[in-house]
Amino acid sequence: MISATFFSMWRIDSDLGDADAPYDRAAAVYDRLVRSRAYNRLAWSTSPDDYAEFAAAAIASSDGPLLEVAAGSAAATAELHGRARRPTTLVDLSRAMLERAGRRIQATRDDHQIVTAAPIRLVQADLLDLPFPAHGFTTVLGLGFTHLFDDLPAVVGALRRQLAPGGELYLAGLVTQTLRGNGYLRLLHRAGQVARAMTAESLRGALGQPIRFGTIGCMAYATLPAGDDRSPTHTR
């Protein structure tokens, strides 16, 4: 695995070289939108605080190693990871997004003068083909990402493979809860940016057996237990 250092403290591990990921070119725009209260309220009837609250529950759920997939720029999680005591790995397909995540976590640590923090690793990888030994994490978190995938059982299978016995998956993604959200999801689907839009109930079914499931605006939040991870995904 190749490592590239972009700051003295933060490096990104990657087997993907300089793979051109869809979010690379849009990283700055996406990062601004996802943190905008107005955008989240108008487009999705949500608030960035909701994302952070769900992430905080995931991070507080255990002390063991934590994996955040499709972590993006860590817009909702940098503050939490920066303070957390858990060994943490952030994965994303986009190097540009991970660079933003690293800078944001470091800024949190600088602001709060946190010097003895838990290790954080940034890894550029496909969440369907993760380069880690199986069952190494007690929590897997993924925010605002299920709507990117048509084959959700494959996503759940790949992420469950990372879970230690007794661990939990915390997953969130957009569903068709409001007229405006429906229209926006349809547009994004036509532009090839998201999978076919799902209702909350169809997402719940596609995820299998969430132990908790709910929506706030167009964002659905699910928690799943560790379990059968034999879905047909790639192995290493």
Residues that bind ligand SAM (CB under 6 A): 21, 23, 34, 51, 69-72, 75-76, 91-94, 97, 126-128, 143-145, 148
Q: Which is nearer to ligand SAM, 65 or 144 (CB)?
A: 144
- C-alpha–C-alpha distance, residues 224 and 5, integer Å: 35
Nearer to ligand SAM, 25 or 166 (CB): 25
Rounded Cα distance between 185 and 200, Å, is 13
Position with the least CB separation from ligand SAM: 72
Q: Indicate left, alpha or beta for 113 from its phi (over 0: left) and psi (-120 to 50: alpha).
A: left
CB of residue 115 to ligand SAM, shortest distance in Å: 27
Strand pairing class (137-142; 219-225) = unpaired
Nearer to ligand SAM, 15 or 126 (CB): 126
Between the alpha carbon of residue 215 and those of residues 49, 155, 172, 211, 212, the distances in Å are: 14, 20, 9, 14, 11
Give 74 or 226: the residue with its C-beta nearer to ligand SAM: 74
Which of residues 40 and 106 has its CB atom nearest to ligand SAM in the complex? 40
> Could you tell me the smallest distance in angstroms from the CB atom of residue 48 to ligand SAM?
9
Distance CA 140, CA 91 (A): 11
In angstroms, what is the minimal distance from the CB of 125 to ligand SAM?
A: 7
The alpha-carbon radius of gyration of the chain (Å, integer) is: 17
Smallest distance from the beta carbon of 113 to ligand SAM, in angstroms? 26
Measured from the CB atom, is 35 or 209 closer to ligand SAM?
Answer: 35
**Amino acid identity at 171:** L
| φ and ψ of 116, to 5 deg | -105, 80
Distance in Å, CB of 96 to ligand SAM, minimum: 9
Q: How far is the CB of 141 from ligand SAM (least distance, A)?
A: 9
Contacts of 105 (CB under 8 A, 6+ apart): 10, 74, 78, 81, 82, 120
CA distance 157 to 129: 11
Distance from the Cα of residue 231 to its chain's centroid: 20
